Structure 1
Amino acid sequence: MEFAERLDALALKVRNQATAIGTEEATKNAFVMPFISTILGYDVFDPLEVVPEFTADVGTKKGEKVDYAIMRDGEVQILIECKPSMGSLKIEHASQLFRYFSVTNARIAVLTNGAVWHFYTDLDAPNRMDSKPFLVLDLLDIDATLVPELQKLSKESFDLESIISAAEELKYVGALKREIGVQFREPSDEWIKFFATRVYEGSYTQRVRQQFTGLVGKATQQFLTERVNDRLKTALRAGIAQEQVDLSPSSAEVAAADLDRDTEIETTLEELEGYQIVKAIACGVVKPQRIAQRDSKSYFAVLLDDNNRKPIARLHFNGKQKYLGLLDEEKVETRHPIAELDDIYAHADAIRDAVSRYQ
């Protein structure tokens, strides 16, 4: 299994079990030890590789422990401190990491609750752990751009120099992306003023600020939606073109036979866009190649494993009013009216639950 696939598998486990695990010990057993072993590739039962409850007395602080120390060639390389599953991670929780970082050879310190992983180093001052992480990995929402950097910490590909050299850029790019995300969700006064003063020619008064508070939020959301839709359309057109190029004589004959059998079925671009949204949501539970589609006269079906006994959703887009059809455990369908394709995201939990039922 490839590195990214192992990461996805652990992410699925975290997604399914996180809310049921409330203690630090349970978090270690369910999520942290599997991360160390299956993702980073270290043997958690070999004390030459992983030392649990690692102790290194510091000044007047005697007997304090860090949850795990990962060793290489007899030296501490990575320190890991754990908190209960789904608990918030704050720098105040990392007091042992700060102290141990300065008295060991470790260049990487990790604070985690099993779902979110904060990776620290010493960019600001030598041998002193930074107060802000250079890499934040959220297993519930994995940033694919971070996967190659994370792989550099694995036993097989360990490359400390490359990690440290890239850490500063990772730190600030990651922080900027998170801040942009915050501003898109809840625009601050500074963010609103920044844009308002570039499009509004009058004085920036309290009334103008109130007016643009809603407008800036609406504009940013529409901008994101349009960018996503543009990329979906580009990908769909490219995929359709590729399928046309790759058609072999035998598959072309099958396609012709299908057309002869039922000429009233017309797959629209809107249905394909809706399918891509459902697929993107379902990919939080299974691999994307397992999500398939079949069109019919009545509806456009999204299936797991191309099996009509495993329906994920149905798109009823043939009439003036569009509906998203979702099926319960008894395969009873409920149609939800949608005004636009983005409304599908409001049913993301139900879509993921449908996929999980077939697992």
Structure 2
Amino acid sequence: MAMDFIDRLQALAKKLEQVKETLATEEATKNALVMPFLHSVLGYDVFDPTEVIPEFTADTGTKKGEKVDYALMKDGEVQILIECKKYGEQLTSKHASQLFRYFSVTRARLAILTNGAQYEFYTDLDAPNKMDEKPFLTLDLEDIDEHAVPEVKKLTKSSFDVESVVGAAGELKYLNQIKKLLSEQFKDPEEDFVRFFASRVYSGVLTAKVKAQFLEITTKALKQFLNDSINERLKSAMGSDCSGLMIPDTT
């Protein structure tokens, strides 16, 4: 029986956990993680050069003979460009420089930057035929976000529809950035964030002392709100058996 997409992802995540200590080079990362991701997870035949071209070369005009690690093909056209770094290396915009150059000289609408564990997905939302500086989606095999799974599934060979992926990318890009901002505010609320809540519930003047008090109150409220949300989810997931279950309040 064929494995579900999420099972294939989780199998690769398990393999990553087993082999990561041995991955000292980019080549080892490509062989152990990136090729299995293309083959087992996305369903491309890595041994068929009409589907996957390793060491893909395009004339970028400025730097001749520069290569991108892989190009995924469909109907003879480049669809996705992939640049790899070794496992453990942090992905930066500097690493994406080759992808930036190649993006403009091929007809690819999608690009992936990866270190075998993290996969950043890019397109050209900001300007046509020019790769965005920020990814619209990130997949981390060491911490799989359930919301990312159906979006990555759209890139599988059997489901691939470039217009559908690019169409959803705009919303995803901003959705993920807002989620990141919310996460940062929950950990360490900025003054503007605190002021927003304080001005809704407090009618007096927001002096420095009041703002300091509201920073503490807002931080506590956010933590309690998260705890309450988790408790509600647990109760609904486990039914009435768990009605007495409470997560200790750490605030």
Which TM-score applies when normalising by structure 2?
Answer: 0.90
Matched, 1:48 2:37: no
Aligned residues: 248
Q: C-alpha displacement at 1:141, in angstroms?
A: 2.3
Classify the secondary structure of the residue corresponding to 1:196.
Answer: helix
> Sequence identity of aligned pairs in percent?
58
> For 1:28-67, what aligned pairs fall within 5 Å after superposition?
28-67=30-69
- Stretch moving more, 12-21 or 71-80: 12-21
| Whole-Å separation in 2 of the counterparts to 1:21 and 1:202 | 59
| Whole-Å separation in 1 of the counterparts to 2:190 and 2:28 | 38
- Paired residues of 2:117 and 2:142 also in contact (CA < 8 A): yes
| Whole-Å separation in 2 of the counterparts to 1:8 and 1:153 | 17
**Which position in structure 2 is the counterpart of 1:101?**
103
Per-residue CA distance 1:241-264 (angstroms, 9 max, x = gap): xxxxxxxxxxxxxxxxxxxxxxxx
| Whole-Å separation in 2 of the counterparts to 1:84 and 1:208 | 49
Which aligned segments of 4 or more residues in structure 1 are displaced greater than 4 angstroms?
340-343
Q: C-alpha displacement at 1:173, in angstroms?
A: 1.0
**Which position in structure 2 is the counterpart of 1:324?**
none
- Paired residues of 1:18 and 1:115 also in contact (CA < 8 A): no
* Structure 1, gaps ≥5 residues long: 241-267, 275-339, 344-359
* Structure 2, gaps ≥5 residues long: none
Q: C-alpha displacement at 1:20, in angstroms?
A: 5.0
| Whole-Å separation in 2 of the counterparts to 1:20 and 1:111 | 21
Cα distance change of structure 1 residues 201 and 12 upon mapping to structure 2, 3 Å threshold: farther
Q: C-alpha displacement at 1:157, in angstroms?
A: 1.2
**Which position in structure 2 is the counterpart of 1:159?**
161
- Stretch moving more, 194-203 or 58-67: 194-203
Letter in 1 for 2:158: E
Q: C-alpha displacement at 1:76, in angstroms?
A: 0.8
| Whole-Å separation in 2 of the counterparts to 1:4 and 1:14 | 15
**Which position in structure 1 is the counterpart of 2:6?**
4
Q: C-alpha displacement at 1:19, in angstroms?
A: 5.3
RMSD of equivalent CA atoms: 2.1
Query: Per chain length, whose mean CA-contact separation is higher, i.e. which structure has more relative contact order (CA < 8 Å, sep 6+)?
Result: 2
| Whole-Å separation in 2 of the counterparts to 1:193 and 1:27 | 47
**Which position in structure 1 is the counterpart of 2:175?**
173
Matched, 1:188 2:177: no
- Paired residues of 2:224 and 2:249 also in contact (CA < 8 A): no
| Whole-Å separation in 2 of the counterparts to 1:342 and 1:17 | 38
Classify the secondary structure of the residue corresponding to 1:145.
Answer: coil
Per-residue CA distance 1:310-349 (angstroms, 9 max, x = gap): xxxxxxxxxxxxxxxxxxxxxxxxxxxxxx5578xxxxxx
| Whole-Å separation in 1 of the counterparts to 2:34 and 2:117 | 9
Q: C-alpha displacement at 1:181, in angstroms?
A: 1.3
Q: Work out which of the residue numbers 2, 13, 16 in structure 2 matches 1:14.
A: 16
| Whole-Å separation in 2 of the counterparts to 1:14 and 1:75 | 31
| Whole-Å separation in 2 of the counterparts to 1:89 and 1:190 | 30
**Which position in structure 1 is the counterpart of 2:216?**
214
Matched, 1:150 2:152: yes
Letter in 2 for 1:226: D
Cα distance change of structure 1 residues 341 and 23 upon mapping to structure 2, 3 Å threshold: farther
Q: C-alpha displacement at 1:110, in angstroms?
A: 0.7
Cα distance change of structure 1 residues 21 and 183 upon mapping to structure 2, 3 Å threshold: farther
Letter in 2 for 1:65: K
Cα distance change of structure 1 residues 140 and 200 upon mapping to structure 2, 3 Å threshold: farther
Classify the secondary structure of the residue corresponding to 1:118.
Answer: strand
Q: C-alpha displacement at 1:87, in angstroms?
A: 2.3
Classify the secondary structure of the residue corresponding to 2:27.
Answer: helix
Per-residue CA distance 1:226-273 (angstroms, 9 max, x = gap): 1110111122117x6xxxxxxxxxxxxxxxxxxxxxxxxxxx755xx5
Which TM-score applies when normalising by structure 1?
Answer: 0.64
| Whole-Å separation in 1 of the counterparts to 2:219 and 2:86 | 34
- Paired residues of 1:137 and 1:143 also in contact (CA < 8 A): yes
**Which position in structure 2 is the counterpart of 1:254?**
none
Per-residue CA distance 1:114-159 (angstroms, 9 max, x = gap): 2221111111111111111111112222222222221111111111
